[in-house]
Amino acid sequence: MRLEPLEETGTLSLEEFRRGPFARRRPVVLRGAVRHWAALGLWTDAYLKKHIGALEAEAYVMPKGRIRIDRAAGFELRRMSVRAFLDDPGRADGERYVFRTSFDGRFGALTADLSAPVYCAERSDLRRNFWMARAGVITQLHFDLPDNVIAMVRGRKRFFVFPPSARDELAPMPWFSSTPPLARLDPESLEAMVGPLGRGVRGHRVDLDAGDLLYLPPRFYHHARALEDCVSLNHWWCRPPTRALLAASDAYKRIRGLVI
């Protein structure tokens, strides 16, 4: 496996973004693009517990820092509050959680602590998700159908990114499995680095800090490791040709009862 640095830039204008990374479907890191967000200084554990501590969502169950997968239903989830997540010391067997919930309509006054990045703020179908992860937790290699802008609010996170053209080399899960967006390749493993599974694979590795944005075009595979306790937001929106495909994907998951 060959990993190269991901393209980096500072803040781009909306027109520069549209003509560059968006039009060319090219992932890019925008360093410090949301460093002005008040959330970067405000969103401590104490602040989050005070303002949204009672907010509940389905958290991903992460034994040994990795998502537990049910072969029939997809990801294993456990309902918990923000306060319970932040107070959780982790079990002796290494089980942890990743907390995710929709940001829109659930965060009250905290919405004033940030704004949608200019690159997607005008999208009528924009969906924002709030994420919390403890240091060492891994989000396994997968792809998303929508365009995606990931904003780091707290902590540091390492991403491995691979183009859609590398799909067959990443050992993707079968379409009929419970987790079709996932791939079996672990880009941090010795097998991926020097073994036959990773042979010929080319991708990128980049570390994000608080205030940075990562833009991922549709279907780009990505694997993430929380290097520190992290809080982040991701922003999804669809190009017109993808909307019908996303609707079909959502219907397929509902029919099969998949949690992915």
Q: In percent, how much of the chain has pLDDT > 90? A: 71
CA distance linking residue 220 with residue 145, whole number of Å: 9
Query: Structure pTM?
Result: 0.94
Which of 127, 126, 84, 130 has the alpha carbon at shortest distance from 110?
Answer: 130
Instruction: Answer whether residue 194 shows pLDDT above 60.
Output: no
At residue 119, the pLDDT reads: 97
Confidence of residue 197 (pLDDT cuts 50, 70, 90): low
Which position has the token pair 């925008």?
Answer: 30
Reported as a single tens digit per residue, the pLDDT across 11-57 is 999 999 999 999 999 999 999 999 999 999 999 999 999 999 999 99
5 within 8 A of 24, measured Cβ to Cβ: no
Reported as a single tens digit per residue, the pLDDT across 47-75 is 999 999 999 999 999 988 888 888 788 89
At residue 153, the pLDDT reads: 98
Confidence of residue 91 (pLDDT cuts 50, 70, 90): low
In the numeric block, which tokens belong to residue 47? 């602040």
Confidence of residue 196 (pLDDT cuts 50, 70, 90): low
- Give Cα 61 to chain centroid, integer Å: 16
In single-letter form, the type of residue at position 113 comes to D
At residue 93, the pLDDT reads: 64
Confidence of residue 2 (pLDDT cuts 50, 70, 90): confident
Out of 83-87, 88-92, 113-117, least confident range: 88-92
At residue 249, the pLDDT reads: 87
- Phi-psi region at 230: left, alpha or beta (left = phi > 0; alpha = psi -120 to 50): beta
At residue 127, the pLDDT reads: 95
33 within 8 A of 120, measured Cβ to Cβ: no
